[in-house]
């Protein structure tokens, strides 16, 4: 008996692998599609019922509908939920933009640059919220090594720290590599700005795919064979700490799920090994509290709550994407950067011309360069008299 099951809550191809492995051996065949949000399952009703299949998939944290009536109801409900959610997000972004324009005009406030504390804090928050997705995606690996070592009376929290530490190291190394690639292979300001804008657009696409818009799922690249390789390597690894360490190290590349792909592109957009590594280290550290408390969180927090938490994570990824796009636009001096648009709508900061100061008999002026522009943006000097002009570049990556 062949049947199509509509599945909500998948975030990448690794989710498909998770569902397929759960039902492997229990059904005749199964093919899950992340892009289409469904699974084609051929099963024998005498061996496993439709309800049992739904229960096994829902146990992993996904919503399932197995007939046209259910599909239509779920689609209608999801469409209404998404519509309301988009109105809320749109209103939130408008308020944030107005607030940003007001603060930048009156208090010289600007969006934090890559690598600054504000940006790293957002990355850490994304890591914490994404950690709930990690429970679903990587929980099987965690259970596999803890269950085996529990028989030998090894403490599970030590294995969690070994796995988490290896994963953060892996994230940091690959984050640095992506940042280095972004800096080495992009030489001109225009190309580097293009990489930053592309990374920002990808992050926004990922966030929109989490909100339930299937069109944006096609932009994720996550071959199933990479996840399969990690599963095999993890199963074959032996030793109390060898298995969690190997699993954690491979996690950085071979289980590059949607959130991690977005973070790697974010790292590439920084154009710096140091900034890329720091960004992914902050993200990786954020995932640790939830993964280390795997058993507690898995039993206390419902799958529905987990999906809502992941949507909050997607909102932050959306904000980071906008920051990255703004960074790229600012690098090119575009009139469409947030500060430029805000200046057009609300008027730019009015500064009186700064007067030159005599230093050893030579008129001297000082200017700061930031993502918001130049400060001060005008000087009062005497015509025909040479001056010393000091430019302090606070925000420049090339």
Sequence-ordered alpha helix ranges (H) in 185-257: 189-210, 224-236, 242-254
Specify the pLDDT at position 350: 45
Q: Are 397 and 324 in contact (CB under 8 A)?
A: no
Listed ranges 54-58, 68-72, 105-109, 321-325; the one with the highest mean pLDDT: 54-58
The answer on pLDDT for 295 being more than 80 is no
Cα–Cα distance list, 320 to 102, 168, 309, 316 (Å) = 20, 20, 17, 6
The answer on pLDDT for 23 being more than 70 is yes
What SS3 state is found at 39? strand
Per-residue DSSP letters for 23-35? HBTTBSEEEEETT
Whole-number Å distance between alpha carbons of 301 and 309: 10
Specify the pLDDT at position 93: 63
Q: Averaged over 317-331, what is the pLDDT?
A: 77
Q: Name the pTM for this structure.
A: 0.60
Specify the pLDDT at position 398: 46
Q: Is the peptide bond before 77 cis (omega within 30 degrees of 0)?
A: no
- Tens of pLDDT, residues 35-64: 788 889 999 988 898 889 988 888 777 778
The percent of residues above 90 in pLDDT, for the chain, comes to 6
- Tens of pLDDT, residues 232-257: 666 666 666 777 788 778 777 666 56
Q: Averaged over 203-221, what is the pLDDT?
A: 74
Specify the pLDDT at position 322: 80
The answer on pLDDT for 330 being more than 80 is no
Q: Averaged over 139-147, what is the pLDDT?
A: 53
Q: Averaged over 352-363, what is the pLDDT?
A: 74
Specify the pLDDT at position 221: 63
Whole-number Å distance between alpha carbons of 346 and 101: 7
Q: How confident is the model at residue 184 (pLDDT cuts 50, 70, 90)?
A: confident
The percent of residues above 70 in pLDDT, for the chain, comes to 57
Q: Tell me the domain boundaries of the chain.
A: 2-66, 78-339, 354-393
In sequence order, what are the beta bridge partners of 388?
A: 364
Question: What is 2-66's CATH topology?
Answer: Alpha-Beta Plaits (3.30.70)
Specify the pLDDT at position 88: 62
């Amino acid at each position: 008996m062949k049947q199509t099951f509509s599945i909500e809550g998948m975030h990448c191809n690794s989710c498909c692998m998770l569902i397929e492995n759960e039902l492997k051996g229990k059904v005749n065949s199964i093919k899950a599609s992340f892009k289409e949000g469904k699974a084609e399952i051929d099963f024998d009703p005498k061996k496993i019922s439709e309800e049992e299949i739904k229960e096994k998939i829902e146990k992993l944290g996904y919503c399932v509908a197995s007939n046209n009536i259910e599909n239509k109801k779920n689609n209608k409900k999801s469409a209404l939920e998404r519509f309301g959610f988009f109105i809320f997000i749109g209103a939130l972004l408008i308020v944030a933009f107005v607030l940003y324009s007001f603060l930048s005009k009156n208090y010289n406030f600007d969006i934090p640059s890559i690598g600054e504390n504000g940006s790293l804090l957002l990355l850490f928050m994304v890591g914490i919220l994404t950690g709930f997705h990690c429970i679903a995606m990587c929980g099987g690996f965690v259970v596999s090594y803890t269950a085996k070592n529990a028989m030998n009376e090894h403490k599970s929290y030590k294995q969690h720290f070994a796995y988490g530490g290896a994963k953060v190291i892996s994230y940091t190394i690959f984050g640095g590599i992506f940042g280095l690639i972004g800096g080495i292979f992009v030489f001109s300001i225009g190309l580097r700005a293009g990489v930053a804008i592309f990374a920002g657009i990808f992050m926004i696409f990922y966030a929109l795919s989490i909100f339930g818009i299937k069109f944006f799922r096609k932009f994720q690249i996550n071959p199933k064979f990479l996840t399969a390789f990690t599963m095999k390597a993890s199963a074959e690894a032996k030793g109390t700490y060898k298995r969690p360490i190997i699993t954690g190290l491979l996690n950085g590349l071979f289980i590059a799920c949607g959130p991690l792909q977005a973070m790697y592109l974010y790292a590439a957009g920084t154009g710096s090994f140091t900034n890329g590594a720091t960004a992914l280290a902050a993200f990786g550290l954020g995932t640790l509290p939830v993964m280390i408390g795997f058993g507690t969180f898995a039993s206390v927090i419902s799958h529905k709550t987990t999906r809502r938490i992941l949507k909050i994570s997607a909102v932050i990824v959306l904000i980071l994407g906008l920051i990255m796009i703004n960074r790229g636009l600012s690098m090119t001096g575009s009139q469409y950067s947030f500060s430029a648009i805000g200046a057009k709508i609300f008027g730019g900061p009015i500064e009186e011309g700064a007067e030159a100061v005599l230093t050893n008999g030579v008129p001297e002026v000082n200017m700061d360069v930031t993502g918001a522009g130049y400060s001060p943006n005008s000087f009062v000097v005497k015509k025909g008299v040479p001056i010393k002009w000091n430019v302090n570049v606070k925000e420049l990556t090339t």
